[in-house]
Amino acid sequence: MHEASIAISLIETVSGLCKDEGYNSIESVRLKVGRAAGILPDALLFAFDIAKAGTIANEAELIIEYIALGGYCCDCGSQFESEERYVFFCPACNSRAIKITTGDEMQIIDMEVN
């Protein structure tokens, strides 16, 4: 399961940051996940709850902000957002010359520590 390894590395990252700053526990972690990142939020939440056991993130709540897929068309210049996981054509003119600019990222926004 792809999300399990993501959850484990996420816990390692936030635990490392937390310890480096001299804190003892993590309250919550906010994560930005793009719709096209290939991550299922439910699976990631589930994996996070398993991976955090016995770590300083034991009590941490994972908050996922799901980012829509967005981009623009090189032909007609229109910008678009989509709730789909993939976009292959410009919704305005059907051109294939599109650039995806948001929606494939996964990034820690911030975290609350004690």
Interface with Zn ion (CB under 5 A): 73, 75-76, 90, 92-93, 95
Smallest separation, CB 98 to Zn ion (Å): 7
Output 31 or 90, the one with its CB closest to Zn ion: 90
- Pair of tokens at residue 90: 């410009």
Smallest separation, CB 92 to Zn ion (Å): 5
Report the C-alpha dihedral over residues 40, 36, 103, 8, rounded to 10 degrees. Answer: 40
Output 5 or 79, the one with its CB closest to Zn ion: 79
Output 56 or 87, the one with its CB closest to Zn ion: 87
Smallest separation, CB 65 to Zn ion (Å): 28
Q: Which of 107, 94, 19 is nearest to 55 (CA)?
A: 19
CA atoms within 13 A on the CB side of 69: 18
